[in-house]
Amino acid sequence: MATWDDVQRLATALPEVTERPSYDGRPAWRVKDKPFVWDRPLRKADLAALGAAAPDGPVLAASVPDLEVKEALLADDPTVYFTTPHFDGYPAVLVRLDDISADELEELVTEAWLCRAPKRLVKRFNESG
């Protein structure tokens, strides 16, 4: 079971990350002012769309490289990953934070950072690792 402290620790360990609340005051982590992971509570429309499948715990939103990756994650583990109509056509997944493993969270946060960071920063990160 992952926590917001885990998300914060993993995100802020990456280069040039800042933590700045989103427009609704929720935690969001950014690289060069581009959000890559953020707290995304479900809204009324989300709850209506999900019905009984709506999680009751914390929800993390994470950028993914493209819609194919999004679809692969959704198909691979629907107990962890899900989406709502609000995110249709947008390369991001929603994550049941209570259900993702620590290792999988680390991979997700790093991949989210990689797809939002500037190319020069990604190159430097890959060369250092």
For 15-53, how does the pLDDT look when each residue is reduced to its tens digit (9 = 90+)?
999 999 988 899 999 999 999 999 999 999 999 999 999
**What local confidence, expressed as pLDDT, does residue 27 receive?**
96
Give counts: helices (H), strands (E), the chain. 5, 6
Indicate the domain borders of the chain. 4-120
Q: Which two tokens stand for residue 2?
A: 């992952």
Tell me the H-state helices in the chain: 4-12, 44-50, 67-76, 102-116, 119-128
Q: Could you tell me the pLDDT band of residue 1, with boundaries at 50, 70 and 90?
A: confident
Query: What fold is seen in the domain 4-120?
Result: Aspartate Aminotransferase, domain 1 (3.90.1150)
Note the pLDDT of residue 97.
Answer: 97
Instruction: Give yes or no for residue 124 having a pLDDT over 90.
Output: yes
pLDDT at 128: 86
pTM: 0.94
pLDDT value, residue 76: 96
Helix (H) or strand (E) holding 108: helix 102-116
Query: Across the chain, what does the average pLDDT equal?
Result: 96
SS3 label, residue 98? helix
